[in-house]
Structure 1
């Protein structure tokens, strides 16, 4: 186990922590700069720990007061284990150090460190970054010119709902006296799917509308020409007159006849590949439907098993017919 720091070292840490206005990461960097020849350097968590020990207990970490036991022993050992391996689990700390998991939890809470989950994000190509930056700048410029610009955009997207769809097991549970050993079937050989288009305009859901499973330019053109106007009937005419249409760059959206129609119906008012504002490739995080809507909707749709296409469609459309955007989220 690592040895403890001296009282002088703790004092220097506390002074630098205050100098950095209780910014532990900045304090750790400044400590390295001010004392460049030390054999070891404290992690930022140690600065937080020193501060709490002095303000709450009146002494440096692991120092014994009046011949008694330290109020939080093993703090440095736990914090050092975390500093050496940020992916370490509480169980592994117990196995390596012999410190009980309950004490590890208390020490981590006292040091204000928490286990954060890794998030999966969209992968990018090197050429994607300039396109995204250009898009951001264009949107900011439009917003500065007209603060209501974002509200005028009809954000659109398609998503496929399958029999074995999205299940967030982290939030899926049932209360029982005894464990009922809940199970959900997955990857069934009997498969079906539904492809839905949905839009969001100024906080209002437009649609959904069922599209063919294998969408192509002809199908999408028919939707824009024949079905979208019907979906927009409840939108005030003045809003439709100045509305922008957004779509991503999937092949069906890039068909020549589709772009010609958008140029005709939304002259210099559509966002997408070759649109008035170019939509950057591989950017689902910029679309509110991809970023949030589909995930939350599918979590509700798949809360119970689905046995047929009719049941899947009914559940989706019933949820959206009886709920507003605020009710769903």
Structure 2
């Protein structure tokens, strides 16, 4: 048998191929000729393996599949995945698969189908003491007592953005759990005490829109620089938006609580939420933190950011694209968030 018809080959079964290879090899055909005769329907490595079996055993013995032993979703493997989550909770399906020596598909099926879990991103929030929680609830009561809803829509919220030169990538940082509450209980929240970087940009928002952006290209921002470069921008924007009837908000950063700066704010702003009222460690009460910074970050073309200069240009472009509807909604929902504080006993709002 010197050649094989292609029409015949396509109707042959695997066992037929093996018998034919056995016959031709025992008749003296070499590996290359066998490969050519089968017109590529059998790979050269497969032919080599079959011929080795013939030399070793006199037949093509394929009672067990080649390669590594195939692992399926057995009770033992499922228990290994479960034990892995109990000992070290944050893990991606890819990492779990690699550590346990199974495919990622098998890992995901075990996590979802066998264990009934879903992946949740790890959330980060400030560390709140009991004193912080008490101050947060007192602030909510103070706002309820002294501000009508229409007055809260005339608050100019301000904030500085830290670590703008990148966004934390938590795509592969997951907690597998049956729901969000279970994810939070099992390590789905990472608390932080403060931002790790210097101030780079300042922004303010209100129900009427977004203020001009103030960028600090270098150096630190103390109270003198803040008074000189930031507060006049806030004052002009607030007056342009609301006239003489509005309030200014800032958090309790070190430069903000300086006596000289507090005095400036009391003197120039129509109304000012001072350091004695705004609660510490409360970015969840500022629309910029719980909404606008994220909106701005999504408008940045991060692929175009290759240097500090391109980053600044992208941030300037992105701030002009922030949706005014999103800004209005975030300011409008502020009192709703605030009034939830007594319900959650002053804990962080998510």
Give the distance between the partners of 2:162 and 2:259, measured in 1 at CA: 24
Matches within 5 A, 1:125-274: 125-142=129-146, 146-160=148-162, 164-166=165-167, 168=169, 170=171, 195-202=200-207, 204-211=209-216, 213-223=219-229, 226-232=232-238, 234-237=240-243, 241-266=244-269, 269-274=271-276
Report the secondary structure of 1:251's partner residue. Answer: coil
- In the alignment, structure 1 segments of 5+ residues that lack a partner are 1-72, 172-191
Give the distance between the partners of 2:198 and 2:127, measured in 1 at CA: 26
Give the distance between the partners of 2:231 and 2:208, measured in 1 at CA: 24
* RMSD, aligned α-carbons: 4.2
Q: Which has the larger radius of gyration?
A: 2
Residue by residue, what CA displacement relative to the aligned partner does 1:253-287 show, whole Å, maximum 9, x if unpaired? 112221112212235x222313xxx1111112221
Identify if the C-alpha distance between structure 1 residues 266 and 231 changes in structure 2 by more than 3 Å, giving closer, same or farther: closer
Instruction: Using the TM superposition, give the Cα deviation of residue 131 of structure 1 relative to its aligned residue in structure 2, in angstroms.
Output: 1.0
Q: TM-score, normalised by structure 1?
A: 0.54
Report the counterpart of residue 296 of structure 2 in structure 1.
297
Q: 1:118 aligns with which of 122, 126, 129?
A: 122
Greater length-normalized contact order (CA 8 Å, ≥ 6 residues apart): 2
Matches within 5 A, 1:3-152: 87=89, 105=109, 108=112, 113-142=117-146, 146-152=148-154
Give the distance between the partners of 1:93 and 1:225, measured in 2 at CA: 53
Give the distance between the partners of 1:301 and 1:138, measured in 2 at CA: 37
- In the alignment, structure 2 segments of 5+ residues that lack a partner are 1-72, 173-196, 331-350
Identify if the C-alpha distance between structure 1 residues 113 and 153 changes in structure 2 by more than 3 Å, giving closer, same or farther: same
Are the counterparts in 1 of residues 203 and 212 from structure 2 also a CA contact under 8 Å? yes
Instruction: Using the TM superposition, give the Cα deviation of residue 225 of structure 1 relative to its aligned residue in structure 2, in angstroms.
Output: 5.4
Instruction: Using the TM superposition, give the Cα deviation of residue 123 of structure 1 relative to its aligned residue in structure 2, in angstroms.
Output: 1.1
Residue by residue, what CA displacement relative to the aligned partner does 1:147-203 show, whole Å, maximum 9, x if unpaired? 2233121110112455x42253739xxxxxxxxxxxxxxxxxxxx987221111115
